[in-house]
């Protein structure tokens, strides 16, 4: 492997040393003990995790501090154990609930099932989860068997039973940070929660940042609420400073408050094994091909141990799997025994289970993943990591008002996390598909919070719906760019969601805020084989029915009358235009190249080849999202009649006087 790879000097530091704050604990405990988990009782397994040593310290800090910041290596037991410790210590007594948020849906489901298994309950009972369109909490046990026995009686008592169910059987609830934000609309102080653990806080998703800002506000009104901010790599000092800086505390200095307002910082050190870093000698031009060759080389030359490959998204993961399967089949070297699996959000239950299940003896698992496996999920048995150096990131330009999903370089912090995944069970190796010089000189130390690189329309709606009027003055962990805020306010005003005073309009604004949806749900698996496609379609269709049902209930609650469009698809296209008028594009009469221009900003864009309108090239279109590869491609496109734009968004198009509407 030496012509292609050279070992690098850098050793991954899995945990940045953290000083300061109220408490600093450290230990030389190693997480080495995970080998042989299959034979240990669940209780023993739990006690072997690095956080177990800190159980008492964690409970003490949470009792005495309003906010506790916990930093600990991925796999040390933060997510699965801390909520259980809290429950055992009584934080869920009296019908209160312990919440643990995650930025990713898949992580929510995976940790909920793991914790339910550890507690010996079914998901939805004492341990539940809620993600958008899926609520697995407070399931009354064996309701169906009661129903069959007591039939009519139960029907009469139905109201009573439902209220019993609402009396929170679920003590530990995992949910996405977005879902917790929505819950605030009904219960602004989140009164049913005793402790809220904001996990994976280093990801700095928009929802996490909004949540942190709002939780800080809630703390002022609820001295009984405790926050835990946890993560693998968080900048604990700046997070602590954010929670400590409070306006209007004059006169309180020197007074001992319980809980203390100054956040506690706890660092759980459970260092993994050493990971040897290898860099490519020359930059690679095609990371899919390079990843495939590297996996085959590892499989050929290295001792047993599973491989985790970090790529950017479903497209390149699928491409890699296809290429790897082909090359493994035709390769002269020993390439039998490879089990190749994808990992990205949106996988079915069965696909998830395969990824987490133990590798059969004599086989080698290759998991091809997005950055979900970077810190959100722990895979046992990984010894080799292949890091493409890229992830899909959102970028927004408020001047052109274009938001793009771009394949962009990861940060050094991410690269270290990725490498760390190889050292869980024994010393491992990480193959970086970039040069050492590139790592040292080119890539940024930390990523940019999503808040600072996104379109803020839905963020503004959510805050407005929660009664936060002064959005520019809101206490953000990272301030969004003012231009992006102004753009968002402008679009919402044009949509009729905000009025002249930038308040939500009634009823439109409030109705919009209630509906958890953007119009398109992206399709999956288009290039897969037919059977699989059919299966997936069946699953997708089931999902659509559930979503429709939930939307129907919301519509009923907020007083929107449902009406079928029958076969009149024009009404649907017009409705989409009313929502996405800002994304209108036209193709110029002389253009043969399939090139379009955005009405605002005259940016060059093209219809994505996966679209049914590819090569049909209608003159006017509206897109849902843009992806950048060699060009800017529009995804999810419909054709429109330009006169609709003036009809549905007169403020917008007159106000901007952009390109003349032909």
- Pick 110 or 415: Cβ nearer ligand CDP: 110
Q: Which does 233 bind (CB under 5 to 8 A by kind): ligand CDP, Mg ion, none?
A: none
Among 546, 549, 573, which residue's Cα sits nearest to residue 562? 549
Q: Which of 378, 391, 462, 636 is the binder for ligand CDP (CB under 6 A)?
A: 378
44 φ, ψ to 5°?
Answer: -65, -45
- Interaction with ligand CDP in 106-135: which residues (CB under 6 A)? 110-111, 114
Closest contact distance (angstroms) between CB of 102 and ligand CDP is: 10
Return the axis-axis angle of helices 177-186 and 457-465, rounded to nearest 10°. Answer: 30
Residue 167 burial by CB count (10 A; 0-12/13-18/19+): exposed, middle or buried?
exposed
101 binds ligand CDP (CB under 6 A): no
Closest contact distance (angstroms) between CB of 228 and ligand CDP is: 12
79 binds ligand CDP (CB under 6 A): yes
583 binds Mg ion (CB under 5 A): no
Contact pattern for Mg ion over residues 27 through 66, marking x by CB under 5 A: ----------------------------------------
- Pick 352 or 458: Cβ nearer ligand CDP: 352
Q: Residue 274: how many CB atoms within 10 A of its CB?
A: 13
Pairing verdict, β 275-280 and 428-432: parallel
Contact pattern for ligand CDP over residues 301 through 340, marking x by CB under 6 A: ----------------------------------------
Q: Which of 29, 67, 70, 80 is the binder for ligand CDP (CB under 6 A)?
A: 80
Closest contact distance (angstroms) between CB of 235 and ligand CDP is: 18
Q: Which does 34 bind (CB under 5 to 8 A by kind): ligand CDP, Mg ion, none?
A: ligand CDP
Beta bridge partners of 397: 402
72 binds ligand CDP (CB under 6 A): yes
Q: How far is CA 194 from CA 28, 63, 75, 200, 265, in A?
A: 32, 11, 25, 19, 20
CA separation for the pair 29, 272 (Å, rounded): 10
79 binds Mg ion (CB under 5 A): yes
81 binds Mg ion (CB under 5 A): no
CA separation for the pair 16, 232 (Å, rounded): 9
CA separation for the pair 43, 87 (Å, rounded): 15
- Pick 114 or 173: Cβ nearer ligand CDP: 114
DSSP summary character for residue 282: S
Listing from the earlier edge strand, what are the strands of the sheet with 127-131?
134-136, 127-131, 172-176, 97-102, 193-198, 226-231, 67-72, 264-268
75 binds ligand CDP (CB under 6 A): yes
74 binds ligand CDP (CB under 6 A): yes
The residue with tokens 């439902």 is 162
Q: Residue 559: how many CB atoms within 10 A of its CB?
A: 8
371 binds ligand CDP (CB under 6 A): no
CA separation for the pair 606, 623 (Å, rounded): 10
CA separation for the pair 578, 235 (Å, rounded): 42
- Pick 76 or 294: Cβ nearer ligand CDP: 76
Q: Residue 461: how many CB atoms within 10 A of its CB?
A: 22
263 binds ligand CDP (CB under 6 A): no
356 binds ligand CDP (CB under 6 A): yes
60 binds ligand CDP (CB under 6 A): no
Closest contact distance (angstroms) between CB of 73 and Mg ion is: 10
Q: Which does 77 bind (CB under 5 to 8 A by kind): ligand CDP, Mg ion, none?
A: ligand CDP
- Pick 50 or 398: Cβ nearer ligand CDP: 50
CA separation for the pair 86, 172 (Å, rounded): 9
End-to-end Cα separation, the chain, in angstroms: 60
Across 145-290, where does the E strand assignment appear? 172-176, 193-198, 226-231, 264-268, 275-280
Q: Which of 14, 49, 292, 385 is the binder for ligand CDP (CB under 6 A)?
A: 49
Count of positions on this chain that bind ligand CDP (CB under 6 A)? 17
- Pick 327 or 380: Cβ nearer ligand CDP: 380
Residues in the chain: 662
Contacting positions for ligand CDP (CB under 6 A): 34, 49, 72, 74-81, 110-111, 114, 356, 378, 380
Positions touching Mg ion (CB under 5 A) are 79
């Amino acid at each position: 492997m030496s012509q292609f790879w050279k070992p690098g000097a850098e050793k991954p530091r899995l945990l940045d040393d953290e000083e300061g704050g109220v408490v600093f604990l450290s230990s030389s405990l190693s997480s080495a003990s995970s080998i042989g988990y299959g034979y240990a009782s669940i209780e023993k397994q739990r006690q072997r995790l690095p956080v177990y040593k800190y159980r008492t310290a964690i409970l003490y800090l949470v009792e005495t501090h309003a906010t506790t910041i916990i930093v600990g290596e991925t796999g040390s037991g933060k997510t699965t154990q801390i909520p259980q410790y809290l429950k055992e210590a009584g934080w869920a007594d009296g019908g209160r609930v312990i919440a643990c948020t995650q930025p990713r849906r898949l992580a929510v489901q995976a940790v909920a099932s793991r914790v339910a298994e550890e507690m010996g309950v079914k998901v939805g009972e004492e341990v539940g989860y809620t993600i958008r369109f899926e609520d697995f909490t407070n399931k009354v046990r064996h309701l169906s068997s009661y129903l069959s026995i007591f039939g009519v009686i139960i029907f009469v008592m139905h109201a009573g039973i439902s209220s019993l169910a609402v009396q929170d059987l679920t003590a530990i609830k995992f949910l996405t940070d977005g879902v917790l934000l929505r819950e605030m609309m009904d219960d602004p102080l989140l009164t049913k929660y005793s402790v809220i653990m904001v996990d994976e806080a280093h990801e700095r998703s928009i929802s996490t940042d909004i949540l942190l800002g709002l939780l800080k506000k809630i703390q002022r009104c609820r001295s009984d609420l405790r926050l835990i901010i946890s993560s693998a790599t968080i900048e604990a000092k700046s997070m602590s400073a954010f929670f400590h800086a409070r306006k209007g505390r004059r006169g309180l200095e020197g007074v001992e408050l319980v809980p203390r307002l100054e956040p506690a910082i706890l660092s759980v050190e459970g260092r993994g094994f050493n990971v040897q870093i290898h860099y490519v000698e020359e930059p690679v031009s095609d990371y899919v091909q390079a990843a495939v060759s590297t996996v085959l080389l590892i499989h050929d030359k290295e001792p047993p141990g599973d491989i985790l490959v970090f790529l950017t998204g479903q497209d390149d993961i699928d491409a890699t799997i296809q290429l790897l399967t082909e090359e493994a089949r035709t390769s002269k070297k020993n390439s039998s025994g490879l089990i190749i699996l994808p990992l990205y959000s949106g996988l079915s239950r069965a696909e998830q289970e395969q990824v987490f299940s133990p590798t059969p003896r004599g086989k080698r698992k290759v998991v091809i993943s997005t950055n979900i496996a970077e810190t959100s999920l722990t895979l046992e048995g990984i010894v080799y990591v292949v890091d493409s150096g890229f992830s899909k990131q959102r970028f927004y330009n408020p001047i052109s008002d274009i938001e793009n999903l771009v394949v962009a370089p990861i940060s050094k912090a991410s690269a270290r996390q990725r490498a760390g995944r190889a050292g869980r069970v024994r010393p491992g190796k990480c193959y970086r598909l970039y040069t050492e010089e590139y790592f040292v000189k080119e890539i940024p130390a930390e990523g940019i919070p999503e808040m600072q690189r996104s379109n803020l329309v839905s963020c503004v709606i959510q805050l407005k719906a929660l009664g936060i009027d002064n959005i520019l003055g809101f206490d953000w962990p990272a301030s969004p760019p003012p231009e992006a805020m102004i753009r968002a306010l402008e679009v919402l005003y044009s949509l009729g969601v905000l009025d002249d005073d930038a308040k939500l309009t009634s009823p439109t604004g409030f109705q919009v805020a209630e509906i958890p949806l953007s119009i398109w749900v992206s399709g999956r698996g288009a290039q897969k084989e037919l059977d699989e496609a059919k299966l997936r379609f069946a699953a997708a269709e089931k999902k659509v029915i559930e979503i429709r049902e939930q939307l129907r209930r919301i519509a009923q609650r907020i007083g929107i009358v449902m009406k079928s469009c029958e076969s009149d698809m024009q009404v649907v296209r017009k409705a989409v235009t009313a929502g996405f008028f800002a994304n209108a594009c036209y193709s110029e009469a002389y253009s043969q190249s399939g090139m379009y221009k955005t009405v605002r900003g005259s940016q060059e864009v093209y219809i994505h080849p996966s679209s049914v309108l590819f090569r049909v090239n209608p003159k006017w279109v509206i897109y849902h999202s843009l992806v950048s590869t060699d060009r800017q491609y529009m995804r999810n496109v419909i054709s429109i009649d330009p006169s609709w734009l003036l009809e549905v968004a007169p403020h917008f198009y007159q106000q901007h006087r952009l390109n003349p509407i032909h």
